[in-house]
Amino acid sequence: MKFRFHTESRFKSCCQQAGILVACMSVVIMLNRCTGITTGPDDFTKWLPASIPDTVYLDLSNVYTRHKRELGRYLFYDNRLSVNNTRSCSSCHAQTFSFTDSYTRSSGAMGDLHQRNSRPLINLVYNRYLTAADSTIHFPESQMDGPLFNEHPPEMGAGGHKQQIMDRLKNDSIYIALYAKAYPGEKDPVNWKNSKLAIATFIKTIISTDAPYDRYRRDSIQYPLPAPATRGRQLFFSDKLKCYQCHGGNDFSTPLQTVQQRQPDFYFNTGLYNIDGKGGYPSYDRGLIDLTGEKTDEGKYRVPVLRNLVFTAPYYHDGSALTLEEVILGYEQGGRIVKNGPFAGDGRINPFKSPLVSGFSLTDTERRDLISFLYSLSDSVLINNKNYANPYR
Amino acid sequence: MQTLTGKYRIFSGLRTTWPWLLVLSALLYACQETGNAEKKLPSYDEQARNAVLLPLDSFTNTPLIQQRVAEIRQALTLPIPVLLCNDSLGGPQQMAQMLALRDTGFARHLKNPASGKPYRNEIFGVYPARQSDLVTVKLPYTLQSTYRVEMYNYALNMTSVAMVDVDRQQVLTSYIIEDVQPDVSGYLKDLAVKIAVEAPEVQQALGIKPSEKEALMASTKTALNRSRCERSRHLCVAPTFVKGDKALWAIIDLTDHRLVGIRWTTVGEPGTAVPLLTEKKLQDDKITSCYCEVEQPLKKNSWEMKYMLTSSDGLRISDVQFNGQPVLRSAKLVDWHVSYSGTDGFGYSDAVGCPYFSQAAVVAWEIPKVAELRDDQQRVIGFVLEQTYRSEGWPTPCNYNYRQRYEFYNDGRFRVACASIGRGCGNTGTYRPVFRIAFSGEQNSFYEYKENNWQQWQQEQWQQQGSLTSYTPEGFQYKIGSGGKGYFIEPGRGQFGDGGRGDFSWVYVTRHQAGRDEGENDLVTIGPCCNTDYHQGPDKFIEPGPEDIMQSSLVVWYVAQMRNDDRKGNEYCWAENVLEDGVWRTKAYPCFAGPMFVPVKN
Amino acid sequence: MPKSKISFYTLLMLLLSGTCFSCKEQEVPFSNNVCATNPAFVGQLGFDPRYAYFSTSEIRVMGLVLLQAGPGGSPGTGIVKSHQHPSWNKAGWLAPIQLDRQGNIYTAPAPFINVLHNPAKGQNTIWKVDAVTGIMDKFLELPLPDSLSENNPFGIIGMVLLCETGTLYVSTLAGSDRYHERGAIYAIDLATSKIIDQIKATDAMGMGISYITGKRKLYFGTGRSSDIYAVNLDNKGRFSGSPEKELSIAGLGPGGDDKVRRIRTDKLGNLIIQGMEFNYNLIPQREKKETAYKFLFDASTSTWVRQ
């Protein structure tokens, strides 16, 4: 695939990326859709648009079938998966909000506040690192234990109630049929392992690639970008702002220099906080440091996907910015200044802040243009795509 | 303290003024057929009489409403506290509403600027733009990808409109229209119809539970239109059910999710304008036709009486009997004198009464309410007849809310009471309600408890309750009656458990003579607003030459005094708005006053 | 009850903009009363006619009051000066005001909040403030119906002057009740103080005069409906024919049943109608939302079109 503008040429074509392996798990292989694997109704690649060149990451131990996906769709929207029948995966990942929930931070089945803002469950197969601050998770199959069984805080609250919850499903004739089709030949298919694989199968098929900017890239003549977004795109890819350095790839979430797909290159401290003047972040969520224990990893979070920002406010890992204006202002300043409250501090002088966040200046018009471009990455088709809709409605 | 929603909530959780006395609502839903109406009312009146008004504090607690309320509460916790359009929207429409919400003009009124609390905002519709919507737009746009987003603010009763080009991801223009409601969404229309169909009042009127398909949405228009609930400033629609040549209107309050009332109208000829039936018209017509035109009989427990709303003397009761024995010829609330200290005699003399053709400045807002009185053990100890009067703008400044209440106890006691619920034109107001209470009997005498004795008043006179006033151990100050029968009069001193802080009343006694009207008929304004002495009006029937009042037909005039207070924790005769579930609710602090009449036991 | 403010400044602007005192019928008047003249006593009292105005709507001053607004000149910009002749409050609270070409002021009582100062028997009396002396005295007592409704506190409620003939039109609601429309419109010759014509059984409120249809007509709304009627006026200011409904504000406004409080005209004679809730009670006007509607006359179809 060729790109018309040099700025886009910074993206890697699929064939350039083909063959790059990540060998962190023996059961994991990297699938490049360019190679083509299978055909027919149970071909996963039918979900992947030909226009997207990026590498695809799949846990091939979880074989795709359409029946498994359909079971996963039902489970994704089913409140019975939570301890008290109040929350489903979709509670925090609603299609209306590009599979986020529009809250600052999500709350669990017992009302506990999660430490993070809900992330959009889109295009997961194009992303090597899935969560905000856990670089060990690469696939939904392994990510799912967290929201299902976490106890600090409980999200779905299923931990300790596993059997009880499975029993709910076993008594439902719809599920008996769905599990039987998804896992033919299994004597007792209604179990957590199969459930998680099914949900993972479903969410891996959530692909969002029909934003105005996608259409523009496919055919710039038929789908020209409006002038503000065009100017914003030029800013985004300019050497003045260098947004593309961190926000590259199909989802604008792949740092440009991560040719080796190495963990450190995906996690950055952008100077959101500096509570103690020594780089401190709020104690309930300190970023990658909570995994690595490395002081220099405090405040490091994964570069977020920039797709569908129209639908995914509020922003940042903790939802602490309501508008894109606030976010951009933080980058303009070279870090965020929190003036009041318990988290007050000058993020600009956070010692662990990435040097890439060095500040720049924008006029009001330029800022609006940049936002227009970012909005042009929003895919309204996804919001109403029946393939992803709640089957209970 | 009571919580009102521009209305009376007897069982509000915020209520604190009824430590021992509980009132159970038991509304009179429709006019009672008296059979003694002399006037042949036109059909319009018949329809008004047969209208059904639900109590203002009524609400439905169906799962559907519960779900709706839960959705509202959930939405109010969002960083962008807006109920998104619940209709099936296409992707571009979804995007249009999200982009609109990011426009500072469109989203200008999402929260109260002072408290930061969210208002209830809801996107009612996202429509393809019309060329006429875009005449003032200067930015480039594509009509096919431009949508008109309409959002309603329930608390401020205003509409936000944004024109959004989703291809350009740009809000082309946005503006606010005050006091206007957008066309309601399909979701809300369905909700209104469901509330109407499920309402027992609708089913009873139609004689059958109608199907949802039978409902016509009379409020639906193609442009921004007016709510049917102009009075409460709530969002209302009016599903109608046509039956033969008549149509049953059901006004549904979509702010509080309740049926406001129903009324039959005659279906007009095809092509004729749809009659505008609104909350106010429904209420005013019903009140006028049922309670201003004819006297209503009331027989409850051992009490019997008639009552009606007057032009300017509030709710008048007459021919009151207990156990078949006459007690009162009549009682009524003649005036409210409201003065403001430190303002050079500024104030008003308010009359309360009927909404049409009346001399009332503050008119009846609901139909008279009859409810049971219960003690703290939930035993029925009597009943109350109550009437509310309100200014349209209450509780904003210089608007008033008065309540008139007659309490009748099973043991023969009765009380004539009233309350102001503010808010008036300032925090230095003194309210002076003027009661006229005419006792039955031609041989009554009047006594004052003084120096440990009952001392008879010889002539018409007045007296003020003060710090040196003597009371019997039971708290009685006066006695009226003859032959060992009669009533003790116990002025308010804060002992009635209704939050009253004492009446500081003037009591006047005048002699009633047949053929001479000293207020037996409707009284025009009896006194000025702002006298601070006994010149409250009844004195004009005493001075200059007081008459003998021994063994006569007597009238007791009772003028209480209540001083308002807006200090936190000490509010009295006051009201203020608070945001609750994203809409304004009124927190009310009534000041009750009025004497208790206790039978003299031999 | 609607009360009025008339600004000399406004009047002056109207006069300067080309309206003559002796308008002929074929000429188009700018306003309902274009010949109003500044009373002589205003200047004598030291008021600046540019910023002075009469008001009957001051909530703390009963009766008529002469006020002078601050720089800028329009009512509401702050009062710098006020005057009330002792006779101006003897009729209680007042409402309509009209000035004639000599500067005499005509007004009438209307209750405000209550009827304490506005007894029913005085509600059909027109009062006149002399242009020279400034003294207010009774001008004319219109007939009172045999039975005054105790529930209807209103009498005279509207006034408009036809300059060409010196005819004052006065509307009254006196005697009306819920079932009987007993109001009237009187045409009064100011020169002779005589009633020269009347329309009975009509509860007219706001009135205005327009020529736009090609005929000189008195437009009026009623307290009973949202409709606006018109009646032709002859050369002497008498009514010619019966009133006909010409337009309506039904369905418009906050409650959909606004009544016509006031009718004004623009330069062409199009109608500017102020509507408000009215139910023959004493709810203060400040609590009612007033809405202005403009209706243009479409000569091609002879219909009124709301702008």
User: pLDDT digits over A245-284, tens only?
Assistant: 999 988 999 888 655 555 568 999 999 999 999 999 999 9
User: CB-CB: which of C114, C176, C177 is closest to B349?
Assistant: C114
Predicted confidence (pLDDT) at residue A213 exceeds the cutoff of 60: yes
A neighbours by CB contacts (3+ pairs under 8 Å): B
User: CB-CB: which of B273, B311, B350 is closest to C151?
Assistant: B311
- Rounded to 5 degrees, what are φ and ψ at B397? -55, 150
Identify the residue among B358, B365, B401, B423 best suited for mutation to test binding to C, counting C beta carbons within 10 A and taking the highest: B358
Query: Would you state the pLDDT for residue C102?
Result: 92
DSSP-derived secondary structure for B157-196: TEEEEEEEETTTTEEEEEEEEET-BPPPPHHHHHHHHHHH
Query: In chain B, what residues touch A314 (CB-CB under 8 Å)?
Result: 79-80
Is A327 an 8 Å CB contact of chain B?
no
DSSP letter (8 states) at residue A305: P
Is B95 an 8 Å CB contact of chain A?
yes
B287-296: average pLDDT: 92
Query: Would you state the pLDDT for residue B601?
Result: 84
The answer to whether the beta carbons of residues A124 and A251 sit under 8 Å apart is no
User: CB-CB: which of B79, B99, B169 is closest to A104?
Assistant: B79
Q: Taking CB atoms and an 8 Å limit, are B359 and C60 in contact across chains?
A: no
Predicted confidence (pLDDT) at residue A28 exceeds the cutoff of 70: no
In Å, what is the CA distance from C58 to each residue of B40, B322, C54, C156?
Answer: 43, 50, 10, 19
Q: Taking CB atoms and an 8 Å limit, are B273 and C60 in contact across chains?
A: no
User: CB-CB: which of B79, B94, B169 is closest to A212?
Assistant: B169
User: CB-CB: which of C149, C250, C257 is closest to B357?
Assistant: C149
Structure tokens at B552: 């006569």
Query: Would you state the pLDDT for residue B24?
Result: 43
Per the DSSP assignment, residues forming a β-bridge with A321 are A315
Residue B40 — pLDDT band, cuts 50, 70, 90? very low
- Rounded to 5 degrees, what are φ and ψ at C63? 95, -160
Amino acid identity of residue B106, one-letter, is F
Q: Taking CB atoms and an 8 Å limit, are A96 and B84 in contact across chains?
A: yes
Is A313 an 8 Å CB contact of chain B?
yes
Q: Let me know if C60 is exposed, middle or buried by CB neighbors in 10 A (0-12, 13-18, 19+).
A: exposed
Extended beta strands in B424-460, E state: 429-439, 445-450, 453-456
Query: In chain C, what residues touch B273 (CB-CB under 8 Å)?
Result: 250-251
B481-488: average pLDDT: 93
A47-74: average pLDDT: 89
Query: Would you state the pLDDT for residue C75?
Result: 58
B406-425: average pLDDT: 95
Selection from A172, A203, A251 nearest residue A44 by Cα: A203
- Residue with the two structure tokens 């005001």: C97
A15-39: average pLDDT: 36
Over chain B, what is the mean pLDDT?
Answer: 87
The answer to whether the bond into B413 is cis (omega within 30° of 0) is no
Q: Taking CB atoms and an 8 Å limit, are A322 and B80 in contact across chains?
A: yes
Query: Would you state the pLDDT for residue B111?
Result: 96
The neighbour count for residue A38, using CB atoms within 10 Å, is 11
Q: Taking CB atoms and an 8 Å limit, are B276 and C257 in contact across chains?
A: yes
Provide the residue count of chain B: 602
Query: Would you state the pLDDT for residue A9?
Result: 27
Predicted confidence (pLDDT) at residue A12 exceeds the cutoff of 70: no
End-to-end CA distance of chain C: 27
Residue B245 — pLDDT band, cuts 50, 70, 90? confident
The answer to whether the beta carbons of residues C297 and C248 sit under 8 Å apart is no
Rounded Cα distance between B198 and C68, Å, is: 61
Is A382 an 8 Å CB contact of chain B?
yes
How far is C-alpha A229 from the geometric centre of its chain's CA atoms? 23
Residue B12 — pLDDT band, cuts 50, 70, 90? very low
Rounded Cα distance between C85 and B466, Å, is: 42
Is B561 an 8 Å CB contact of chain C?
no
Query: Which chain B residue lies closest to C61 (C-alpha atoms)?
Result: B346
Residue B423 — pLDDT band, cuts 50, 70, 90? confident
- Residue with the two structure tokens 């010949």: C35
Query: In chain C, what residues touch B312 (CB-CB under 8 Å)?
Result: 114
Is A102 an 8 Å CB contact of chain B?
yes
Angle at B379 between CA B376 and CA B383, to 5 degrees: 100
Provide the residue count of chain A: 393
Angle at B292 between CA B287 and CA B293, to 5 degrees: 115
- Rounded to 5 degrees, what are φ and ψ at A373? -65, -45
Q: In chain A, positions 210-249, which contact chain B (CB-CB < 8 Å)?
A: 212, 226-229
Selection from B403, B576, B596, B471 nearest residue B4 by Cα: B576
Q: Taking CB atoms and an 8 Å limit, are B167 and A226 in contact across chains?
A: yes
Structure tokens at B273: 């304008």
C neighbours by CB contacts (3+ pairs under 8 Å): B
Chains B and A touch (3+ CB pairs under 8 A): yes
User: CB-CB: which of B280, B359, B527 is closest to C255?
Assistant: B280
Query: Would you state the pLDDT for residue B57?
Result: 73
In Å, what is the CA distance from B252 to each residue of A151, B3, B261, C235?
Answer: 45, 22, 8, 54
Selection from B236, B312, A11 nearest residue C153 by Cα: B312
Selection from B419, B566, B589 nearest residue B503 by Cα: B419
End-to-end CA distance of chain A: 40
Structure tokens at C301: 């179809």
A323-340: average pLDDT: 96
Extended beta strands in chain C, E state: 5-7, 52-55, 65-69, 79-83, 94-99, 105-109, 125-129, 136-141, 156-162, 167-172, 184-189, 194-199, 204-210, 217-222, 227-233, 239-248, 259-265, 271-276, 291-298, 303-306
Query: Which chain C residue lies closest to B229 (C-alpha atoms)?
Result: C255
Selection from C136, C154, C135, C117 nearest residue C283 by Cα: C154
Query: Would you state the pLDDT for residue B226?
Result: 62
Angle at B509 between CA B506 and CA B515, to 5 degrees: 135
Which residues are within 8 A (CB) of B426 and not within 5 positions of it... i.e. 6 or more apart?
B340, B343, B397
Nearest Cα of chain B lies from the Cα of A383 at a distance, in angstroms, of 6
Amino acid identity of residue C86, one-letter, is P
Predicted confidence (pLDDT) at residue A20 exceeds the cutoff of 80: no
Nearest Cα of chain B lies from the Cα of A226 at a distance, in angstroms, of 6
Q: What is the pLDDT of residues A36-51, one digit of tens each?
A: 344 567 889 889 988 7
Predicted confidence (pLDDT) at residue A22 exceeds the cutoff of 50: no
Q: Taking CB atoms and an 8 Å limit, are B95 and A383 in contact across chains?
A: yes
Is B99 an 8 Å CB contact of chain A?
yes
Query: Would you state the pLDDT for residue A36?
Result: 39
Query: Would you state the pLDDT for residue A73?
Result: 97
Query: Would you state the pLDDT for residue A389?
Result: 95
The neighbour count for residue B473, using CB atoms within 10 Å, is 5
User: CB-CB: which of A229, A376, A384 is closest to B94?
Assistant: A384
- Where do the H-state alpha helices sit in chain C? 8-16, 40-44
Count Cβ neighbours within 10 Å for each residue of C224-242 and write b for 16 or more, e otherwise.
bbbbbbbbbbeeebebeee
Residue B274 — pLDDT band, cuts 50, 70, 90? low
Q: Taking CB atoms and an 8 Å limit, are A384 and B170 in contact across chains?
A: no
User: CB-CB: which of B79, B98, B170 is closest to A372?
Assistant: B170
- What SS3 class is residue B64? helix
Over chain A, what is the mean pLDDT?
Answer: 87
User: CB-CB: which of A104, A226, A378 is closest to B95?
Assistant: A378
- Residue with the two structure tokens 């009827």: C115
Amino acid identity of residue A235, one-letter, is L
User: CB-CB: which of A102, A212, A385 is closest to B80?
Assistant: A102
Is B79 an 8 Å CB contact of chain A?
yes
Predicted confidence (pLDDT) at residue A315 exceeds the cutoff of 50: yes
Q: What is the pLDDT of residues A230-247, one digit of tens each?
A: 999 999 999 999 999 999
Per the DSSP assignment, residues forming a β-bridge with C171 are C158, C185
Residue B173 — pLDDT band, cuts 50, 70, 90? very high
B507-535: average pLDDT: 89
Query: In chain B, what residues touch C289 (CB-CB under 8 Å)?
Result: 179
In Å, what is the CA distance from C25 to each residue of B458, C43, C164, C210?
Answer: 74, 32, 8, 11
Query: Would you state the pLDDT for residue A298?
Result: 96
Nearest Cα of chain C lies from the Cα of B312 at a distance, in angstroms, of 8
Q: What percent of chain C has pLDDT over 70?
A: 87
B395-422: average pLDDT: 94
Is B73 an 8 Å CB contact of chain A?
no
Structure tokens at B459: 């002539």
Selection from C265, C287, C264, C260 nearest residue C276 by Cα: C260
Nearest Cα of chain B lies from the Cα of C43 at a distance, in angstroms, of 30
Predicted confidence (pLDDT) at residue B32 exceeds the cutoff of 70: no
Q: Taking CB atoms and an 8 Å limit, are B89 and A384 in contact across chains?
A: yes
Structure tokens at B526: 């009896």
Chains A and C touch (3+ CB pairs under 8 A): no
Provide long-range contacts, Cβ within 8 A and 24+ apart, for A174-178: A174/A74, A175/A71, A175/A74, A178/A67, A178/A70, A178/A71, A178/A74
Which residues of chain C, if any, have pLDDT below 70?
Answer: 1-33, 72-77
B58-69: average pLDDT: 86
Q: Taking CB atoms and an 8 Å limit, are B94 and A103 in contact across chains?
A: no
B360-368: average pLDDT: 93
